[in-house]
């Protein structure tokens, strides 16, 4: 453990619409006055010892203490205060950065890395935020956690609720979520309400619930955003505080882009970095209401979402205003890519030996388009956020490989040992 505590910057919970201050202890998710989304504002005016903080972080990486080793709680001075005894952690957050070799070739870019958020305990980026939201819920004595989900939030919430000794209830669309995500959610002991509607309809139901009776842990909960902002801090810390030119990530309900943008902005305000990277948010073409809002400057018009990247099949993203603020603050951009491009990009990430679920590959698909359009230069330093693990949606991968050359030839059915040897001989010849 670190000898002397660092003085934390102050965080004040406020409404993002009417700016009314809110008490963190009420655990409200929406503003009591106007119903707007809440956010923690960081007061960076007190001065912050950057060199010391970097040393503290490096020291914590060598510690065996659970909260030091978590890639979220290592940054606890920048999070809402929660007693260590209330922290519910599964060692989330410390995810790897990989050089993108074939991905870079595919996108015609030279300096591309994947930050694999799917290498988290429940195999998606949700664990970054869930550890904070569920720790807060446990600290205030909540017994029941609830969320609407396209599958990843539900799996993450279910795992952390199990660790916290709480009951988890998830609302999911009764069709179209991946079997693996549902199986995970059930395995961790959650109760599942499968609704005859999509994610947007499920979130509408959750919005009507009383946050004093249920811990609502969708990304409308500002504690989720605080946890997920550490993705930005972790990226910077893992890169020796070097700032990439671009961070490209998929957008669905738009919590993650809001959170990551906030993380970079705060790191800048504290003096940890001297500029912020530009954000590119990528949506699936059939679920792209944010693209229209970004381009028109008009309020977001919900759409009926349609995409095979089921994680981002969202037509009325709750955090669009927050995300738009972050994209604009970073001089970033928003774009849409067709499902077929997402599918090809996902397969390319696979043959880089990394793999991810469909929604995550929107990042590489988006990069390719942005390089084509000249928005991102071939030599820009780019980080692609891979938001979920490949094993989250194996049915999608199997269907792709069955129907797409050269993968369709990857499985040969062999009759006997001689037949197998013949195949191996020809493969040896191919490889030489
Ligand atoms: N990628 C994956 C793998 C996701 O699961 C999600 C969202 C996103 C990207 C989009 O992130 O909503 O913060 O813009 N999944 C949510 C869920 C909606 O319920 O699991 P966002």
Ligand 1 atom index nearest CA of 357? 3
Mind listing the pLDDT tens digit for each residue in 249-288? 999 999 999 999 999 999 999 999 999 999 999 999 999 9
Mind listing the pLDDT tens digit for each residue in 287-320? 999 999 999 999 999 999 999 999 999 999 999 9
Q: Residue 5's pLDDT is what?
A: 53
Instruction: Give the CB-side neighbour count of residue 49, counting CA atoms within 13 A.
Output: 9
pLDDT band at 28 (very low <50, low <70, confident <90, very high): confident
Give the distance (Å) from ligand 1 centre to CA of residue 387: 8
Q: What average pLDDT score do residues 82-107 get?
A: 97
pLDDT band at 129 (very low <50, low <70, confident <90, very high): very high
**Which range, of 31-45, 370-384, 399-413, averages the lowest pLDDT?**
399-413
Give the distance (Å) from ligand 1 centre to CA of residue 425: 45
166: helix, strand or coil: coil
User: Do the beta carbons of residue 229 and residue 126 sit within 8 Å?
Assistant: no
Choose which residue among 250, 311, 359 to substitute to test ligand 1 binding: the one with the highest number of ligand atoms within 8 A of its C-beta: 311
Calculate the alpha carbon distances from 412 to 220, 402, 415, 424, 427 in Å: 48, 12, 10, 11, 12
Give the distance (Å) from ligand 1 centre to CA of residue 63: 31
> Is residue 100 pLDDT above 80, yes or no?
yes
Choose which residue among 222, 253, 365, 386 to substitute to test ligand 1 binding: the one with the highest number of ligand atoms within 8 A of its C-beta: 253
Structure tokens at 303: 């759409």
The percentage of residues in the chain with a pLDDT greater than 90, rounded to a whole number, is: 89
Q: Residue 2's pLDDT is what?
A: 45
Q: What average pLDDT score do residues 180-203 get?
A: 97
**Ligand 1 pocket list (CB less than 6 A):** 124, 149-153, 219, 250-257, 311-312, 357, 359-360, 387-388
Give the distance (Å) from ligand 1 centre to CA of residue 250: 8
Ligand 1 atom index nearest CA of 219? 13
Give the distance (Å) from ligand 1 centre to CA of residue 283: 11
Q: Residue 293's pLDDT is what?
A: 98
First to last CA, the chain: 54
Q: DSSP letter at 47?
A: -
Q: DSSP letter at 306?
A: -
> Is residue 133 pLDDT above 70, yes or no?
yes
Give the distance (Å) from ligand 1 centre to CA of residue 120: 14
Q: What average pLDDT score do residues 182-192 get?
A: 98
Give the distance (Å) from ligand 1 centre to CA of residue 152: 7
Ligand 1 atom index nearest CA of 314? 18
Q: What average pLDDT score do residues 364-374 get?
A: 98
Q: Whose CA is nearest to atom 5 of ligand 1?
A: 311
> Is residue 225 pLDDT above 70, yes or no?
yes
β-sheet with 215-216: strand ranges across? 191-195, 167-173, 144-148, 215-216
According to DSSP, the β-strands at 10-15 and 333-337 are: unpaired
Q: What average pLDDT score do residues 361-379 get?
A: 98
Give the distance (Å) from ligand 1 centre to CA of residue 142: 25
Q: What average pLDDT score do residues 376-385 get?
A: 98
Q: What average pLDDT score do residues 368-389 get?
A: 98
> Is residue 26 pLDDT above 80, yes or no?
no
- The per-residue b/e assignment along 15-36, b for 16 or more CB within 10 angstroms, e otherwise, is bbeeeeebebeebbbbbeeeeb
Ligand 1 atom index nearest CA of 360? 1
> Is residue 3 pLDDT above 60, yes or no?
no
Neighbours of 173 (CB within 10 A): 21
């Amino acid at each position: 453990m670190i000898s002397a505590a660092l003085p934390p910057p102050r965080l004040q919970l406020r409404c993002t619409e009417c700016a009314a201050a809110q008490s963190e202890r009420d655990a409200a998710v929406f503003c009591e006055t106007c119903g707007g989304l809440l956010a923690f504002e960081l007061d960076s005016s007190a001065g912050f010892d950057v060199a010391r903080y970097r040393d503290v972080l490096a020291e914590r990486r060598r510690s065996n203490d659970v909260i030091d080793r978590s890639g979220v709680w290592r940054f606890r001075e920048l999070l809402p205060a929660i007693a260590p005894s209330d922290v519910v952690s599964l060692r989330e957050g410390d995810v790897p950065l990989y050089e993108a070799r074939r991905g870079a070739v595919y996108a015609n870019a030279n300096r591309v890395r994947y930050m694999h958020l799917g290498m988290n305990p429940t195999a998606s980026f949700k664990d970054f935020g869930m550890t904070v939201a569920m720790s807060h819920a446990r600290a205030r004595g909540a017994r029941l956690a609830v969320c609407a989900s396209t599958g990843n939030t539900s799996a993450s919430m279910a795992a952390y609720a199990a660790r916290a000794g709480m009951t988890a209830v998830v609302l999911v669309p009764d069709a179209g979520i991946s079997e693996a995500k549902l199986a995970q959610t059930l395995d961790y002991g959650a109760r599942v309400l499968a609704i005859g509607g999509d994610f947007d309809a499920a979130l509408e139901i959750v919005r009507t619930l009383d946050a004093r009776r249920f811990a609502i842990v969708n990304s409308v909960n500002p504690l989720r955003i605080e946890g997920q902002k550490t993705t930005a801090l972790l990226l910077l810390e893992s890169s020796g505080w070097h700032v990439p030119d671009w961070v490209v990530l998929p957008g669905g309900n738009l919590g993650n882009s809001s959170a990551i943008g906030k993380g970079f902005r705060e790191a800048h305000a504290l003096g940890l970095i001297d500029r912020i990277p530009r954000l590119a948010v990528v949506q699936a073409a059939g679920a792209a209401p944010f693209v229209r809002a970004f381009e028109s400057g008009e309020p977001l018009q919900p759409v009926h979402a349609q995409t095979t990247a089921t994680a981002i099949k969202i037509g009325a993203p709750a955090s669009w205003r927050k995300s738009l603020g972050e994209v604009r603050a970073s001089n970033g951009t928003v774009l849409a890519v067709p499902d077929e491009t997402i599918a090809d990009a996902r397969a390319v990430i696979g043959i880089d030996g990394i793999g991810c679920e469909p929604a995550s590959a929107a990042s590489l698909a988006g990069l390719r388009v942005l390089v084509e359009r000249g928005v991102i230069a071939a030599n820009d330093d780019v980080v692609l956020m891979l938001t979920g693990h490949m094993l989250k949606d194996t049915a999608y991968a199997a269907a792709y490989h069955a129907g797409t050359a050269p993968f369709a030839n990857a499985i040969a059915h062999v009759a006997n040992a001689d037949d197998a040897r013949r195949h191996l001989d020809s493969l040896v010849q191919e490889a030489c």
